[in-house]
Amino acid sequence: GAVVSQHPSRVICKSGTSVKIECRSLDFQATTMFWYRQFPKQSLMLMATSNEGSKATYEQGVEKDKFLINHASLTLSTLTVTSAHPEDSSFYICSAGDRAWQETQYFGPGTRLLVL
């Protein structure tokens, strides 16, 4: 199947710092990428939908100024958690779909963020 990579896989940072997470589709062009967050023992919660060349669409309750998303190319989307706080500690997962994303989404391996 298609491959999606994420970097870094794990990050520990101090409260107040910003963290950038990269999501790359390695063998296909991803017109749409999705960013999810998953807290322990909970489901994936969609944060935003990232479309190449346009602004991301954020889900209700997700602060767009805190979670900055950039989808500058068909193979790369980035999520920046600005001024991170301990409550932002979570498992962040991206997924990518091609033009027929409704057929399937391919998930990256996720990034574990721990804010101290």
Partner 1 sequence: RKEVEQDPGPFNVPEGATVAFNCTYSNSASQSFFWYRQDCRKEPKLLMSVYSSGNEDGRFTAQLNRASQYISLLIRDSKLSDSATYLCAVEYGNKLVFGAGTILRVKS
Query: Exposure string (b/e) for 29-60, b if CB count within 10 Å is 16 or more?
Result: ebbbbbbbbeeeeeeeeebbbbebeeebebee
Query: Scanning residues 35 to 64, which ones bind partner 1 (CB under 8 A)?
Result: 42-44, 46, 49
Distance CA 9, CA 45 (A): 19
**83 interacts with partner 1 by CB under 8 A:** no
**8 interacts with partner 1 by CB under 8 A:** no
Which tokens is 99 given?
């033009």
**114 interacts with partner 1 by CB under 8 A:** no
Query: Which one, 51 or 70, has the nearer CB to partner 1?
Result: 51
- Binding residues (CB under 8 A) for partner 1: these are 1, 34, 42-44, 46, 49, 91, 93, 102-110, 112
